[in-house]
Structure 1
Amino acid sequence: MPPTPTVGEGPRRFPPQWRKPLPQSQLSILRGTEPPMNNTAVQLDPRQIAQSLGGTARGNQISAPAPGHSRKDRSLSVRIDPSAPEGFVVNGFAGEDPLGLRDYVRTKAGLPDWEPQRRVHTAPTSHLRLVKTAEPPKPFTDYHLTRQGYAHAATYDYVDGSGEVLFEVLRYEHPTEPKTFTQRRPDGNGGWFAGRGDSVLYRLPEILANTTDPIFVVEGEKDADRLASFGFLATTPPQGAWPDDLSVLAGRKIYVLADNDVPGERKAAAAIERLTGIATVTRVDLPGLPDRGDVSDWFDAGRTAEELVALCIDAAPLPANDNTPPSESALSIFDWTVDRFVGAAPPVEYLVDGVIPTGVPGMVSAAGDTGKSYALLELHRRVAFGSNQFAAPIFGGRVVAEGTSVMITSEDDANEVHRRVAALDEREQRYTAAGKRMIIVPLPSAGGARAFWREDRKRGLLETDDFRSICDQLLSISDLRLVTFDPLASFAHLPLNEDPTAGQFVCSSLARLASETKATVLVAHHMRKSKAPIETLSDAREAIRGTTALVDGLRLAYAMWPADEARAKRICKSLGIGHEPNKIVLGGVVKANGAARRIMSIYARNETGLLIDRSSGLGASAPAQGDLRAALVVSVEAAAAAGAPFTKTGASGLFELRERLPEELRRMGKARLDALAADALERGDIVRVAARGEKTAKWLDVPTGMFAAGIGTFTAGMPR
């Protein structure tokens, strides 16, 4: 049980300005004296709800501005779904809390409050095919921690209002590794199940018993207990997972104390965002806090409770979010005149030179049994240990970034990872200081697969607590350069192949992680089986499994696939090596937001199974005509999709705007580039189309593109 205040000290007395009585309406709810509201059956009309939200409706799908965004914003998605508990499912793509968005929609649309206990489910329908059967609870064990040298250091009880233990958070410490936590809940027979049920606030009974004093929100249970020992009210959510119901905090005065590190800043921001509009929230920054320090360290340094009270009184509350979008004048266009861009433009920083930038989300997609995971492992080794300048290229270029790399795999166990690392690390660099920079987490040997993204019937698409925990750990790595999740399908428990919204949600989550860590974040993904052989990079892009939103939402996609048998035999003969099935693999960039080499690389599998780039041995410095044509098709498709299509000649011609083309095409003369475009047109890889309102078919697009379908729109300022 949490410790009680020090004997003889009693509850701390606060100045009058600290006290704020709980509203009578809130007290009546806590006491159970206010009658519950009755549900009223509501027939939801998508058009009426879209109008109330300031958005648009297409069928049952609504796009609208998220709270606090401009009227043109469309990052709030609402789907009218009679099978959902509340009749609709809400998703936000700008980082908003799904519960807050749900309440925002209900308020704006004038919908009645929903009571889950009165929900009557109709007979199952086809939508239930996406609902996974709940797994039976697993007995609790900490063997996976103790066998690594971790020791149990503390137990924190999370209890309900009456003091009954709902679950426990256990803290484990290691002589050389960072601390870690796990959770367990009673099984009803004196034992424990792994994990926990619904989240509750730490030290909840004290908050319920004292409705006037302010409450401190801190990052962990240790700090909450330390504050409580001085007589303060303090709480924390279990490992950052806030409860759905925060009515106990409504109208209260809350002080948020952040730890002095990147994860602490992130959790403090999340707490402020979650609590704003529910309570009066004030952030308090503790002076003199050491790096990675917390309030316990602050007290250990000799600071006093009286100093903390003084800091809180002097701190100004944060403005409440009333969900009123800012006025259009909040953005000043005059702040963005081009004279602000002084000096040389910052160069693009690369992880793999000319191919994979740093700080972006991307994908490596491959056909089954191609060897992408092994190739990704080699990429991680080169990033962590440094890359020899004479080493063969990997993923189309030379690794130029060095730092910590983290790979989380749900397919390979520790023994398989050990075998692969040993085969790659012949110089045994893993036993040097660089070994600490290469982190490979084999989930089958580390507690099993984890869901990072899932769908909740009430709350919509969610990032899980496991994902947030991983993000916090990644943010604490100062030299992080590369993160890989392998494969994506094991982490995303969502219908990625059917639902574009699910793909967009995952891509947005990965983009945010890449932006916050400044690291390249890759996911390994699969390609569909195809009856026809893949001949070009465009074919490879079309073969990537899932909706187009999955590829379009990432900054880069690299594909790998086995060469067809005839081509593989020719390549093996040219290289002077014996032919075997799956010996030769082709690969290249199939999508990139920005300049990237789009030359098809040729890989040969070595004796350990690693794919080695052998393009230079085949004269790949002079790309084949088919590869150049494929690069042109990809460029034409990307330009049209961006609202800035090419024409074959003229002011918007390919040669005139060749700076927008990849390097291998920029080097070509006008006549050769025209001939390449003519060849692509004759083959039907690209087409000439007329824009809306025009009669002349002059704009270039792929046959399945937006302009080819007659619905393309031009980017403002694009020459026409």
Structure 2
Amino acid sequence: MTFPRVQPEPVYRNPEAVARAVGGKARGNRVTVHAPGHKKGSPEISILVDPSAPRGLLVNCFSGEDPVAMKDWVLAKCGEPEFTPGDRSERPEPRAHLKLVRRAEPPKPFNDQYLVARGYHRSATYDYTSTDGEVLFEVLRYEHPTDTKTFVQRQPDGHEGWLNGRGDAVPYRLHELAANTADPVFVVEGEKDADRLASLGYLATTVPNGSWPEDLSVLSGRTVYVLADNDATGDKKAVVAIDRLSGIATAYRIDLPGLPPKGDVSDWLDAGHSQDELEELCLSAVPIAANDNAPPGKPLSIFEWTVDRFVGEAPAVEYLVDGVIPLGIPGMVSAAGDTGKSFALLELHRRVAFGSGIYAPPIFGGRVVSEGVSVMITSEDDANEVHRRIAALDEKGDRFSSAGKRMIVVPLPSAGGARAFWKEDRRLGLIETDDFKRICDQLHSIEGLRLVTFDPLASFAHVALNEDPTAGQFVCSSLARLATETGATILTAHHMRKSKAPIETLADAREAIRGSTALVDGLRLAYAMWPADEARAKRTCKSLGIHYQPNRIVLGGVVKANGAARRIMSTYARNESGLLIDKTSGLGTSAPAQDDLRTALVIAIEAAANAGAPFTKTGASGLFEMRERLPEELRRIAKGRLDALAAEALERGEIVRSAAKGEKTAKWLDVPGGLFAIGLGNFTTGAPR
């Protein structure tokens, strides 16, 4: 049984008239036009002029706008009333239990008279073949004396004639790629460039109208050089090509030097450049860093990791800043606005690259003990500001010596603008960008790299760090891998949110770090800095004998660490040039706060255990009995208060009682994870027991 359907009356329209009405271009019975507000790139709206369609028009939009709104816009341009969704006179629908399937219309005979009538002439024919050399379809290039060139595709009809369009896409010059599987392959933007390179004896290919085929097995495992045209479209197509080749071939991007705007490899060769230059560029290129480009790693075997493999003495922790910032870990320096963290980080880089004297004040709570190459990439300061800051820090002119090559500071505002290192792709999800992969390649090539800083993190991470824990974990994992692969400490500068109540403890500071907790938890170390409240700042300035100014006194300390780290609150004072100078030692005669005293006690207990001479809480090796081994501020307090501080630290889990080897009683004090705490501690000769 069939159901009667209401068929709309045919509406005949002239494609050229539709094109003029909407401001687009007509090709046969199809009109393409930019959507409202769009002016660049490929047209976003396709209009099929079809008498059987409602009002003679079928409208499709590819830019994400509301399809109904776009159809209304086209209808209004053509003098028609708006489209009404659900109107059966507009769009006849079958009964609910019937399902109509649109069948693809068979291709029509090829005809290019509509182009010839407008003054176009065919200038080239490009055959796309099978691996056996059979022509599957052709791309025809048409040129016009005044208008831009255009391309049309056609396919054989099997009777020595031609039909419009093509079947599935294949790489250009496929039969040559299949016949020679050893030589490298050039990927270019158009057939003209592929033919030019082929005439020089190279394997070269492209794809029809930017459409990459699903089957790229002919390029599997090969070396591919992607030659980018010098314009935005060329860059976009090169990025797409490398993305499609990822995991299939080893891809290199080649940006030809001296290429004019909108120029391609044919223009470059016409300008007098040689094949030798092209080959030299390819041989010196670095492959695009992508996980998929790397050879498959060795399969993971859990049976290789039984603990009997850990023979001999465990390696000691290497530090960048003694007792505070380990070497080869990802970390963060977080601070409130206008605190001076970027200047302090720049000074840290200077000390790593140029070294520092034994009388230099601590920085970030300790002394720099590892020297080498440092790289700082900042998206906030331009070259002039970096110049002023370097000049203020480097009064001796060390940057003009051979050591100057060891300190690299990249001011992105003066080097092409900010870059996204991490972002969310609609198709792939969270990704590392090509910019980040190129930076990683350069960092891997540096011998003696010790420190890398990205300032600030938010400028490089175009993901939802504040709301999405997954985004925070992704960025942290990326930084951790870079730290492991380079052996350098990777720091990010980050911001702290404004707090209504003053920050009094390191725990308060950790809570004030902006973003999801996954960001802090995912890094090995977090150091926070914040301005002291006015009352404390005035007391500190008076003790130091300096004039009080707002934001002159800054507090800081480690608020998170995976492993041993000096968790003492440091006090900084801003000098004339704006640099924060650690003045903690100069405040030793003033009475520290309770939290600071307890922190100092924890640090002393940790240091004693690491030295093989641990304390006990009481007795012959007790804290009070051995107080001459404690810092000055702890030596001056009464026995009862010292016991109370130790008891509070035990209750908080900041220290633990541990048993030494061969002993059953847990009496030796250590920090969680310390050598005595995990049963590996050894007493030094003559140490109290």
Instruction: Decide whether the 8 Å contact of 2:510 with 2:528 is kept in 1.
Output: yes
In the TM superposition, residue 457 of structure 1 has moved relative to its aligned partner by: 1.6
Match of 2:316 among 330, 333, 347: 347
Q: 1:517 to 1:189 in 2, by over 3 A?
A: farther
Match of 1:528 among 470, 473, 497: 497
In the TM superposition, residue 368 of structure 1 has moved relative to its aligned partner by: 0.5
Q: Who is 1:149 aligned against?
A: none
Instruction: Decide whether the 8 Å contact of 2:177 with 2:218 is kept in 1.
Output: no
Matched, 1:331 2:294: no
Match of 2:585 among 599, 611, 616: 616
Instruction: Decide whether the 8 Å contact of 1:365 with 1:557 is kept in 2.
Output: yes
Over residues 342-377 of structure 1, what are the superposed CA-to-partner deviations in whole Å (9 max), with x where a residue is unaligned?
332211111111111111110000000000000000
Q: 1:342 to 1:570 in 2, by over 3 A?
A: same
TM-score, normalised by the number of residues in structure 1 = 0.50
Instruction: Decide whether the 8 Å contact of 2:375 with 2:452 is kept in 1.
Output: yes
In the TM superposition, residue 515 of structure 1 has moved relative to its aligned partner by: 1.1
Partner Cα separation in structure 2 for residue 562 and residue 475 of structure 1: 37
Q: Who is 1:581 aligned against?
A: 550
Over residues 478-517 of structure 1, what are the superposed CA-to-partner deviations in whole Å (9 max), with x where a residue is unaligned?
1111111111111111111111111111111111111111
In the TM superposition, residue 275 of structure 1 has moved relative to its aligned partner by: 5.8
Q: Secondary structure at the match of 2:480?
A: helix
Instruction: Decide whether the 8 Å contact of 1:632 with 1:665 is kept in 2.
Output: no
Instruction: Decide whether the 8 Å contact of 2:187 with 2:224 is kept in 1.
Output: no
Instruction: Decide whether the 8 Å contact of 2:172 with 2:205 is kept in 1.
Output: no
Partner Cα separation in structure 2 for residue 664 and residue 230 of structure 1: 79
Q: 1:616 to 1:373 in 2, by over 3 A?
A: same
Match of 2:335 among 366, 378, 381: 366
Matched, 1:500 2:479: no
Instruction: Decide whether the 8 Å contact of 1:217 with 1:254 is kept in 2.
Output: no
Q: Who is 2:417 aligned against?
A: 448
The one-letter code of the counterpart of 1:331 is: S
Q: 1:228 to 1:248 in 2, by over 3 A?
A: farther
Partner Cα separation in structure 2 for residue 220 and residue 672 of structure 1: 75
Match of 1:467 among 423, 426, 436: 436
Instruction: Decide whether the 8 Å contact of 2:588 with 2:633 is kept in 1.
Output: no
Matched, 1:416 2:385: yes
Partner Cα separation in structure 2 for residue 441 and residue 119 of structure 1: 37
Q: 1:320 to 1:443 in 2, by over 3 A?
A: closer
Matched, 1:593 2:542: no
Partner Cα separation in structure 2 for residue 160 and residue 386 of structure 1: 64
In the TM superposition, residue 629 of structure 1 has moved relative to its aligned partner by: 4.5
Partner Cα separation in structure 2 for residue 417 and residue 614 of structure 1: 25
Instruction: Decide whether the 8 Å contact of 2:499 with 2:512 is kept in 1.
Output: yes
Matched, 1:542 2:528: no
Q: Who is 1:486 aligned against?
A: 455
Q: Secondary structure at the match of 1:546?
A: coil
Q: Secondary structure at the match of 1:675?
A: helix
The one-letter code of the counterpart of 1:425 is: D
How is 1:68-217 mapped onto 2 (pairs within 5 angstroms)? Answer: 205-207=172-174, 210-214=177-181
Partner Cα separation in structure 2 for residue 455 and residue 541 of structure 1: 27
TM-score, normalised by the number of residues in structure 2 = 0.53
The one-letter code of the counterpart of 2:348 is: L
The one-letter code of the counterpart of 1:247 is: E
Over residues 2-28 of structure 1, what are the superposed CA-to-partner deviations in whole Å (9 max), with x where a residue is unaligned?
xxxxxxxxxxxxxxxxxxxxxxxxxxx
Matched, 1:437 2:376: no
In the TM superposition, residue 245 of structure 1 has moved relative to its aligned partner by: 5.2
Instruction: Decide whether the 8 Å contact of 1:538 with 1:633 is kept in 2.
Output: no
Gaps of 5+ in 1: 1-115, 125-158, 166-187, 191-202, 238-242, 259-270, 283-295, 304-317, 635-648, 650-654, 656-661, 687-715
Over residues 597-632 of structure 1, what are the superposed CA-to-partner deviations in whole Å (9 max), with x where a residue is unaligned?
000111000000000001111129996421244689
Matched, 1:551 2:515: no
How is 1:234-383 mapped onto 2 (pairs within 5 angstroms)? Answer: 247-250=214-217, 254-256=221-223, 331-333=301-303, 335-383=304-352
RCO higher in 1 or 2 (8 Å CA, sep ≥ 6)? 1
The one-letter code of the counterpart of 1:254 is: G
Instruction: Decide whether the 8 Å contact of 1:368 with 1:527 is kept in 2.
Output: yes
The one-letter code of the counterpart of 1:384 is: A
Q: Who is 2:366 aligned against?
A: 397
Partner Cα separation in structure 1 for residue 187 and residue 358 of structure 2: 45
In the TM superposition, residue 255 of structure 1 has moved relative to its aligned partner by: 3.7
The one-letter code of the counterpart of 2:422 is: W
The one-letter code of the counterpart of 1:605 is: R
Instruction: Decide whether the 8 Å contact of 1:484 with 1:524 is kept in 2.
Output: yes
Q: Who is 1:105 aligned against?
A: none
Q: Who is 2:426 aligned against?
A: 457
Partner Cα separation in structure 2 for residue 599 and residue 497 of structure 1: 28
- RMSD across aligned positions (CA): 5.4
Partner Cα separation in structure 2 for residue 410 and residue 615 of structure 1: 31
Partner Cα separation in structure 2 for residue 489 and residue 543 of structure 1: 16
Q: Who is 2:48 aligned against?
A: none
In the TM superposition, residue 214 of structure 1 has moved relative to its aligned partner by: 1.4
Instruction: Decide whether the 8 Å contact of 1:256 with 1:272 is kept in 2.
Output: no
Q: Which moved more, 1:385-394 or 1:582-591?
A: 385-394
In the TM superposition, residue 250 of structure 1 has moved relative to its aligned partner by: 2.2
Q: Who is 1:605 aligned against?
A: 574
The one-letter code of the counterpart of 1:578 is: H
Q: Who is 1:427 aligned against?
A: 396
Q: Which has the larger radius of gyration?
A: 2
Partner Cα separation in structure 2 for residue 671 and residue 508 of structure 1: 46
Q: Who is 1:264 aligned against?
A: none
Q: Secondary structure at the match of 1:211?
A: helix
Partner Cα separation in structure 2 for residue 379 and residue 216 of structure 1: 48
Q: Which moved more, 1:619-628 or 1:408-417?
A: 619-628
Matched, 1:563 2:529: no
In the TM superposition, residue 672 of structure 1 has moved relative to its aligned partner by: 6.6
Instruction: Name the % identity.
Output: 67
How is 1:611-650 mapped onto 2 (pairs within 5 angstroms)? Answer: 611-619=580-588, 624-629=593-598
Q: 1:418 to 1:343 in 2, by over 3 A?
A: same
Match of 1:407 among 360, 368, 376: 376
In the TM superposition, residue 475 of structure 1 has moved relative to its aligned partner by: 1.1
Partner Cα separation in structure 2 for residue 625 and residue 225 of structure 1: 78
Partner Cα separation in structure 2 for residue 456 and residue 462 of structure 1: 7
Q: 1:513 to 1:251 in 2, by over 3 A?
A: same
Partner Cα separation in structure 2 for residue 504 and residue 236 of structure 1: 38
Partner Cα separation in structure 2 for residue 419 and residue 502 of structure 1: 35
Instruction: Decide whether the 8 Å contact of 2:336 with 2:496 is kept in 1.
Output: yes
